[in-house]
Structure 1
Amino acid sequence: MSAGQRMSFAALFERHPEVCIPILQRDYAHGRATAVEVRGAFLQALREALDKPEDDPTLPLDLDFVYGSIDSTGAFAPLDGQQRLTTLLLLHWYVAANDGCLADFMRRAAPARGARFTYAVRPSSREFFDELLDWQPAQRLGTSLSAEIADQPWFFLSWKMDPTIQSALTMLDAIDARFADAKGFYDRLTSSDRPAITFQLLDLQRFGLSDDLYIKMNARGKPLTSFETFKARLVDHVKSVLPSQSFTLHDRQVSVSEYISHKIDTVWADLLWEYRDEQTALFDERCMNLVRAVVIATRRHGENADDALMRALRDGKEAFSFLRYHEAGCLDEAFIRTFVTLLDAWSGHKGGIRPLLPAGCAFDENAFVERLLKDATGLSYTSFVQFTAYCEFLTSHIEGSAEAFGEWMRVLVNLSTNTPYDRLDDFTRSVQSVRDMLEHAPDILTYLTSPAGKSVEGFYRLQLREERIKAGLILRGENWRAVIESAERHLYFAGQIEFLLDFAGVLDRWEHEAGFTWLPEQEADHLAQFASYRDKAFAVFEDKGLRHFPDSLWERALLVQGDYLLGVRSNHSFLHNTERDESWKLLLRAGASEVALAKRQLVKDVFDNLNPNCSVEESLSALVQSSFPDEPWRALLVQHPKAIAYCKRRNVRREAGGRLYLLSKVRRSGEHAELLTFVLYHRLLAVLQSGDDINYVYVASDEIEPYVSGTFACRQGRLSVLVKPDRLGLSIAAGYLDKGGGLLPSSFVDEMTSQGFGLVEGQMVASVSLETAEKMLIHIAVQAKEWDFEQMPAA
């Protein structure tokens, strides 16, 4: 006899008078709420086997070994396999009821009072199976099978506390959902000649194993990990996906199933071990992250992927087991070939994956793989576009050179990094473009410079234009490659360097000549200019963005040249390093509009003013101090860096009439100031004498204007002032600070009138420009020291 005797569940009762789950075993667990994946996968496998024709060569479905021992009465006590056997019992009962064969099933499983399949774990479990197998279900109308069972007079409410019974009820509902339409399955299960489902029965005593030994083996209490389950089912699954595919293993041809089975437990395991969890020393989750990433990279929208699937794969909220992948059609030929190719290509290198790209490549495969294995759902659309490009080249051009692979990845990294991805559709279009270009991947630069290169879609069109220009330059020689790649490697520019091509005159030549027809001396000049502007850009921008310059020197230097601020909804921005819609990168990218290009030109103007004989900071200071902008608001911002510093979110609001608000946040409903009054306040602070008091009142409403308020000391009493913005500039109101009320002295009125004020409702008022307001207020603050306000009777 072989190691185990193959038999069906029905034949088990012909061999043994009783099957009793021993007391040492745990409760029936396949019906637990936490076992939904295990339950679903097992029932699916059973249904698929029963749906196949009787003469299908893949039948019977083998459920592997069932271990157990036999007592003196011949009763069989399963020590491993109780979950499968219990599920088979419930399935046989259910299909027997569906096919009208319950009498035959009772003859086999319960010929006398009491079931021949029982649990010794607790009496309630035994009693439940006794009653269930003796019950004939009626046709149900809208109620679940478990609810109908629980409603029977023989069902005790206390049984709901029994975990085995609860699991059995859950499993019966799952069977009902999957087999309700089944007919003729009972005969297929109980056939003596060709049963659809079998297992291999192994008597431990006959094979010299003791119960004690197996109890110890079975007492680990550690369930299979999702990776172990996935691995086992994948090995079986690939037989049907690539039935005729063979691989070379140890100089012999083997099936894909044997190949994966061997590699995943040897060299691939050695590779994944390098990325194991430091606390658990397991790499199971790492491998499942790789599976998820490869599934995403091999989906084709409209063919084997939909939006719901792709979102579920990326967001990480839904656990993906073998069953979930299988039901979604993810484990197809594209997945299997890519999965095998990647692991084979990466294996055999100590300390991590075998590098496949040249050193210094734009795509850092080592860092990427480490991030992927730790959490595939944490990767951005940009990262998945790049990973797709990596996988597609490797599977389609596995014999390609490392240099060609590196050039392909450089181009795709640049394109994807500088393409915005707001929706899944954006990602899908980029991936489709990757596949459209794939046949040209071994010589991607030549393809980009050809007329066909214009037709590439799915990426930001100006970045594509940039890549076509750079491809043409690199093909001209290594000098261009050196300066271009050094500029691309700057972490902040991240491959987006069209502004340098523009500043060096290359962009203009490309646009007007559709290529390069340079004389040697012309090319040398453009190359030198590119390198010069690159060095200046490196001096101003560091890896995370704009270098810190004191007192907003860089922003003020740009404002000297012109209005560089970018519009953001209702505001204008001084720009950030990282905010996508108001970043320095966006200014440098410019776009195609004349306004955008003119703003980028201001950066070139500042670069041109950088003195190579001194530091950047010294050059910017000299530029700010020696020039005066022609627009008043720009001049004030250049002269008063505190106004820029106040804008914590780097936003200002321009209103009709030229008024400019300094925003602490992004709306006028948040605290804000107004430029003229803010500047006046800080100018007065610098010159007012001791005893005078000046304050700035910030507001958080678009219905109230920010203002300056204060009082000036007099010989007797105090003079109050209030300054608000108005349509002509600033409105000043000055009066006697007296709670009891009073008239202004005629000498004060005369003096204020001579300064341009008018008497209105007991106050001296004037509407003037910022410079005039400053002079007036300084003058009256000095003059007030000589005034003596005496309270006068009301008129």
Structure 2
Amino acid sequence: MSIENYNTFWSIINDNKIEIPTIQRDYTYGRKSATTIREKLVADIINSIIVPNPLNLDFVYGKLLGKENHITQERNKNNIRSLLKTIKLYASDLNIEISDEVVSRNAKLEGKINFIPLDGQQRLTTLFLIHWYIAQRNNDVIALSSLNKFSYSTRLSSKEFCKILCFKQYNFDSKTDSVSDLISNSEEYFSSWKKDPTVNSMLIVIDEIHKLFKSKDVDYKDCWNKLTNENLITFDFFDLDDFELTDDLYIKMNARGRHLTNFEIFKSWLIKDYDGVILEDDWKKKFDIKWYDLFWKAKEKSIYKIDSEFLQHFKILFLGDYMKSQNSNDSRMNDDAELENYDTETLDLDDFKSVIGILRKKDSNPLEIFQNYDLFKDKINEYVEILDLASSVAFINQDQLLKKYIDTDLFKLLFGEKLNKLTWWDTTLHYAITRYLLKVENNSTYFSEWVRVISNLIYNTKIDTPKLFIEAIRSIDLLIDRVDSKNIYQVINTLREEEMIFFSPSQKTEEIFKAQLIVQDNRWEKLFIEAENHIYFYGQIGFIFKLCNSPIDINTFTINYTKVASLFSEEVLNDTTFLLTRSLLAIGDCFYINGNERIFNSNVRGTLRNRTENWRKFFDSKLNFIETIINRPDFNANNIIQSLNSIIKTEFPNSKGKYHGKFVNNYKLFLYAKKNIIRQHNKNYYLLNSTRISGYFVELYTYAWFLKNEKGCSIIPKYEISYDYVKGQDNEPGIVFKKGDLTINLRRNHNTKKYYIHKEKQLLEFKTIEEFIDSIK
């Protein structure tokens, strides 16, 4: 058939193969988001066949690869035919009969020409499925054989699925509920194909076709005739003979539809340009099956595509290698905020901020970076090797290993949606894990031990800028070289702190000490894992050792850990009455002193900074308070809330009259000091609503009395009571008593500790608030 007549699906498939190229996206009409367009297109085509009514489906663009051979063959046939005619004229004069008919060994190059669609893939695939459905209903083996020339090259599973559709005759009729179930339950169907979005979409569209046909009285032989001979469903065919098959061309021609994902473009580029660079056996096949499965298994239930995570794998790995090549002393490396807000729509390859911004940001396109840095080509075999190694590594106790640090497990850190939102700490851990796998290859005996130790070091060290990230991963490289595939604890046990550069000194000391204990008695490891996974300790448990007598034994450590674990349990930390702080204050003044400020702890624990500036600081400087509480005979770890309330009740009389005692019996005082700051000025204490005295503040003693009596005071029922919140160091807050037109402001003198009012230009002082109230009854 002439190319000019390629205006129907059947006219093309009869003469050629139709191959959806690797550069194309998946078949999408089965997606939930495409419900409307799917239902309309299928209904329009089927109605057009049945009515009948001609339907044009717009332009289809593509390349006919191999047509040059067809054109050459036709030209040769014409030349031979002309030659034979000339010979025939001479032969007739000699009374010799010669035929001028030219018989071609191949009448046509059927299947020898590949049609590569660049735009129209979704419509062509839908037409393929409708042709397939009608051919199946007619049991037309010849038609199915022709349809077998339709194929997908995007994934091996898509290609194989198209083959089995046309290879097998499925026995279904109008009484069949689901054709997709019939197909997916057949022995030729592989369960792994469920992960292929193109296969899933095809099955959904087949069911849509079946639903519409079964509701109508249809003669399928007549439908086939109308579909293949009467040219009811047409499109305008355009052969892009003057263009090269490039990504840019596809994107321009397909601008009115959905573009390729960045991963699909990246994958196509790898297949085209890295065929001789990537040394892994069957790497193209593994992209679609073995490695694809890693990301599929790690995906969340609500996510149906893993392209972003797959591409992020390469971006994050390259980020580490790229960063190591940079100068960590560049002052700009200290400013992560600038990088977070960097415009990733444009790329300056000479500006590391631009490169880092694109490599870290979800859905950004790194292709230009990969193309322009030889470092990517140098490292690509390591990046695919990591995928292969991860496929065989047993992620031992993955839930427990990282429970304390991230909101997902280890497997999802490496291959799940978490990849798209890694902090610098997470990125450092990702580097440490993947590079360790490369180092030990298939010897993952001590993998879980490595993850435990390195995550403790990483998440208890400040790593929140590019500079600190570079220093961290350089240190990790040295440590990986040192531990190699050996027993982690035995190696750490022999290290000196100065040999573990960069990381927090206290955490290095702790990890070395814990390794020494584990080497002596491996029962320690299980206990350490439990303690490190505590919701507040986050791998840092060195303070518990200080609560134990020397020499440290497992039983004493277990007892002390159980007690402090309950003291910092979720139940206590989520208490809104500042129960833990008040129980400690009942024992003594445990506020931090910073000049003229008194600071109390917050229970927030989301970041290393949160923990370091609050209870972790308490562990270092005021551990004696914790020791006193947990060693009390009335301390009960099994009923911690009741136990702490009992301690407050018992100890409150001893703190009564002292400034910190005001807080013990009145938790609402903490609520006003939103920044946890109390300012001392001579003998007065002020609760700051912000970090400075220029913001609003209240005075401790007057405000404590007000909180208890703000709803009314029975001894002065005629007065309305309110509080005068002030700001600025020249103002003094206090209680306001109002009766009719009379307003009395009661303040506390920060020098004399007495309360005063101004009355008729006189200053009247009182030792207590009660004494003042007696005076106005």
TM-score range, shorter chain: 0.5 to 0.7
Partner residue of 1:709? 736
How many Å apart are 1:618 and its aligned residue?
A: 3.1
Partner residue of 2:449? 407
Secondary structure at the counterpart of residue 655 of structure 1: strand
Secondary structure at the counterpart of residue 265 of structure 2: helix
Distance 2:272 2:567 in 1: 59
Structure with bigger gyration radius? 1
Secondary structure at the counterpart of residue 458 of structure 2: helix
1:378 aligns with 2:421: yes
Partner residue of 1:267? 290
Partner residue of 2:492? 448
Q: 1:444 to 1:299 in 2, by over 3 A?
A: farther
Distance 2:607 2:398 in 1: 30
Residue of 413, 425, 447 corresponding to 2:467: 425
How many Å apart are 1:644 and its aligned residue?
A: 1.9
Equivalence map 1:111-130=2 (5 Å): none
Q: Which amino acid aligns with 1:578?
A: R
Partner residue of 2:775? 780
Distance 1:228 1:637 in 2: 61
Q: Which amino acid aligns with 2:669?
A: A
Equivalence map 1:523-542=2 (5 Å): 523=552, 526-542=553-569
Partner residue of 2:262? 226
How big is each residue's C-alpha offset from its partner over 1:641-686, in whole Å with a ceiling of 9 and x where there is no partner? Answer: 3312333x25223233143221334333443211122124346665
Which stretch shifts more, 469-478 or 551-560? 551-560
Secondary structure at the counterpart of residue 622 of structure 2: helix
Partner residue of 2:580? 554
How many Å apart are 1:296 and its aligned residue?
A: 2.4
Q: 1:310 to 1:612 in 2, by over 3 A?
A: farther
Distance 1:665 1:533 in 2: 37
How many Å apart are 1:706 and its aligned residue?
A: 1.0
Partner residue of 1:58? none
Partner residue of 2:720? 693
Q: Would you say how many aligned residue pairs link Structure 1 and Structure 2?
A: 522
Distance 1:602 1:585 in 2: 18
Residue of 449, 452, 458 corresponding to 1:416: 458
How big is each residue's C-alpha offset from its partner over 1:431-486, in whole Å with a ceiling of 9 and x where there is no partner? Answer: 11111111233322222222445421121111111111111111121332232221
Which stretch shifts more, 618-627 or 570-579? 570-579
Distance 2:611 2:479 in 1: 31
Distance 1:675 1:302 in 2: 56
1:316 aligns with 2:356: no
Which stretch shifts more, 448-457 or 610-619? 610-619
Partner residue of 1:653? 678
How big is each residue's C-alpha offset from its partner over 1:500-558, in whole Å with a ceiling of 9 and x where there is no partner? Answer: 111124xxx5xxxxxxxxxxxx55xx322211121112222235x84344643311121
Q: Which amino acid aligns with 2:668?
A: K
Partner residue of 1:637? 663
Partner residue of 1:395? 438
Distance 1:490 1:67 in 2: 69
How many Å apart are 1:380 and its aligned residue?
A: 0.8
Secondary structure at the counterpart of residue 660 of structure 1: strand
Partner residue of 1:132? none
Partner residue of 1:620? 644
**Contact 2:472–2:502 (CA<8 Å) still a contact in 1?**
yes
**Contact 1:692–1:710 (CA<8 Å) still a contact in 2?**
yes
Q: 1:230 to 1:461 in 2, by over 3 A?
A: same
Q: 5+ residue gaps in structure 1?
A: 1-19, 25-37, 39-62, 84-210, 243-254, 349-353, 510-521, 736-760, 785-795
Q: Which amino acid aligns with 2:470?
A: T
Secondary structure at the counterpart of residue 747 of structure 2: strand
1:342 aligns with 2:386: yes
Secondary structure at the counterpart of residue 676 of structure 1: helix
Distance 1:390 1:227 in 2: 23
Equivalence map 1:112-511=2 (5 Å): 223-238=259-274, 241=277, 255-256=279-280, 259-274=282-297, 281-302=304-325, 307-308=352-353, 311-316=356-361, 319-337=364-382, 339-347=383-391, 355-358=394-397, 361-363=400-402, 367-370=409-412, 372-374=415-417, 376-402=419-445, 404-441=446-483, 442-505=486-549
Distance 2:506 2:271 in 1: 46
Q: 1:560 to 1:280 in 2, by over 3 A?
A: closer
Q: Kindly, what percent of the aligned residue pairs are identical?
A: 19
Distance 2:303 2:506 in 1: 48
- What TM-score comes out, normalization by structure 1 length? 0.57
Q: Which amino acid aligns with 1:432?
A: R
Distance 1:275 1:358 in 2: 16
Secondary structure at the counterpart of residue 564 of structure 2: helix
Distance 2:272 2:716 in 1: 90
**Contact 2:291–2:387 (CA<8 Å) still a contact in 1?**
yes
Distance 1:311 1:703 in 2: 50
How many Å apart are 1:699 and its aligned residue?
A: 1.9
Q: 1:568 to 1:322 in 2, by over 3 A?
A: farther
How big is each residue's C-alpha offset from its partner over 1:196-240, in whole Å with a ceiling of 9 and x where there is no partner? Answer: xxxxxxxxxxxxxxx989769999866543323322322454456
**Contact 1:661–1:672 (CA<8 Å) still a contact in 2?**
yes
**Contact 2:398–2:409 (CA<8 Å) still a contact in 1?**
no
**Contact 1:644–1:650 (CA<8 Å) still a contact in 2?**
no
Q: 1:64 to 1:268 in 2, by over 3 A?
A: farther
Distance 1:427 1:533 in 2: 35
Distance 1:474 1:355 in 2: 23
Q: Which amino acid aligns with 1:290?
A: H
Partner residue of 2:57? none
Q: 1:224 to 1:317 in 2, by over 3 A?
A: closer
How many Å apart are 1:720 and its aligned residue?
A: 3.8
**Contact 1:671–1:700 (CA<8 Å) still a contact in 2?**
yes
Partner residue of 2:764? 765
Q: Which amino acid aligns with 1:328?
A: Y
Q: Which amino acid aligns with 1:468?
A: I
Q: Which amino acid aligns with 2:601?
A: F
Distance 1:686 1:663 in 2: 26
Q: Which amino acid aligns with 1:662?
A: L
Q: 1:718 to 1:261 in 2, by over 3 A?
A: closer
How many Å apart are 1:575 and its aligned residue?
A: 2.0
**Contact 1:498–1:589 (CA<8 Å) still a contact in 2?**
no
Distance 2:721 2:301 in 1: 62
How many Å apart are 1:583 and its aligned residue?
A: 4.3
- What TM-score comes out, normalization by structure 2 length? 0.58
How many Å apart are 1:598 and its aligned residue?
A: 3.4
**Contact 1:541–1:547 (CA<8 Å) still a contact in 2?**
yes
Distance 1:472 1:503 in 2: 19
Residue of 622, 625, 637 corresponding to 1:602: 625
Partner residue of 2:53? none
How many Å apart are 1:395 and its aligned residue?
A: 0.7
How many Å apart are 1:561 and its aligned residue?
A: 3.2
Partner residue of 1:55? none
How many Å apart are 1:361 and its aligned residue?
A: 4.6
Distance 1:408 1:343 in 2: 19
